[in-house]
Amino acid sequence: MSKSHAMTMVFVVVAVIFVLSSVASGADTVRLRFVYLGSAADIKIWKDLADMFHEKHPDIVVDVQAVPATGWAEYFDKVATMIAGGSPPDLARIAIEGVQLCATKGLMMPIDEYIARDEKELKEFFDDVHPALIQAFQYEGKTYMLPIEWNNMVIFYNTKIFEKNGVDFPSKDWTKDDFLEIAKKLTQDFDGDGTVDQYGFEIPLQYFAGAMPWIFNAGATFLTPDWKKPLVNDPNCVDAVQFMRDLIWEYKVAPPAPATLDPLYAHFSSGQIAMMGGGRWPVLQFVNAGMYDFDIQLWPKWRDQVTEFGVGGVAIIQATKNPDAAWEFVKFTTSKESMVYWTKLGWCVPARRSIAYSDAMYELPPKHAELYYDSLDNARAVPSPPQYNQVENIFLRYLGEALANEKSPKEAMDLCQKELEAIMQ
């Protein structure tokens, strides 16, 4: 062996050892921290998605961290605190409620340059998604996320309770009065002890999942169409709050309003309530509780019949040091592979039309799951201005006083209007 050949062999061996050592030590591995509004029901979904992504991108590891919160407002506050405290995540699950808020504060990275760069690769995705879901993540000419999941508010009903009481399942054209008559029939005191054992409906003290569907279908908009000014003391909005209050205190077809959604899941799964509002996310809760006897229907018509919807995606946090790797994870969450995985589990409605109408949606109830995507042609996004955290907190405080019968709906909404006007100037 010549001297030069021997030197070459030594160089190759050293290089191989270096590469193997680097791989073994993870020196070239990029680690991303992803945070989401956590619950015990969906933490496995995100960890599984991170693992599926890692199999395709072995040089990128996504560490999943749940952020417990009672709602989006508290969650957004916690994420902002992480960033301000010098411990920013690389990625965060953000819903439409936080788009204008986070964009205004400069917390999220616009992704228009990435979309333009990967235009050919993403064409199939954009062709498969309803425009309303895409537009929900655009603000002041920039795109901040790609939609992966969404929910619209529909009425869940317990099919066994309806059949047992000889009540027909509601049709698409049912009205608010039809809803009330059904709720009255299904509110029952089984043993005659004066205590209601089964309520027809239950209203949570919630913004998206409680009040907004009634407000929209009453013919109100809550805020102006550009979300710049409040309209909560509009007569139609007051009517909606009055109806919610009356379901509890006048008609007595609903128990006192809980502050969170967990009691609704438990009451519906156990047959203590016959109907409740929700998107598709309660399906995961019901299935985990062994409850399969339910179906869905559109929100009952009042002065209008529209669907309220919200959208979720994965945002790249502005402070990340690895935006390219983060973008790869964002794209993975829009893939058919990832959406089919969690669609089969009953978590949210997939943004892709092809999956929303596929067999994956029908492996679990509801029987009429096509209602979700069908409704997008007549849907209205949940009002989500840059001051969302304050708007939600103020409104829920006054709504709570109205539903607790501490203030009249008119008085509560008049006071709410004044506070909202002050912060939205």
* pLDDT the model gives residue 82: 92
* pLDDT the model gives residue 52: 98
pLDDT (tens digit per residue) in 177-198: 999 999 999 999 999 999 999 9
* pLDDT the model gives residue 26: 55
Residue indicated by tokens 């655009």: 138
Instruction: Single out the residue of 22, 39, 62 nearest to residue 320, CA to CA.
Output: 62
Residue indicated by tokens 């209007």: 417
Q: Per the structure block, which two tokens stand in for 29?
A: 């591995």
* pLDDT the model gives residue 16: 47
Buried (b) or exposed (e) across 74-97, using 16+ Cβ within 10 A? ebbeebbebbeeeebbbbbbbbbb
For the chain, residues with pLDDT lower than 70 are 1-27, 39-41
Q: Per the structure block, which two tokens stand in for 410?
A: 């008119």
pLDDT (tens digit per residue) in 245-293: 999 999 999 999 999 899 999 999 999 999 999 999 999 899 989 999 9
How far, in Å, are 42, 57, 72, 257, 327 from residue 51 at the CA level? 15, 10, 26, 39, 16
* pLDDT the model gives residue 140: 95
One DSSP character per residue, 105-138 reads TT-B---HHHHHHTHHHHHHHHHTB-HHHHHTTE
Residues sharing a CB contact under 8 Å with residue 85, sequence separation 6 or more, in sequence order? none
- List, in sequence order, the alpha helices (H) in 250-361: 262-269, 282-288, 323-333, 336-343, 353-356
What distance in Å separates the CA atoms of residue 299 and residue 302, rounded to the nearest whole number? Answer: 9
What distance in Å separates the CA atoms of residue 107 and residue 84, rounded to the nearest whole number? Answer: 10
What distance in Å separates the CA atoms of residue 136 and residue 133, rounded to the nearest whole number? Answer: 5
Q: Is the previous residue joined to 263 through a cis bond, with omega within 30 degrees of 0?
A: no
Residues sharing a CB contact under 8 Å with residue 31, sequence separation 6 or more, in sequence order? 60, 61, 62, 63
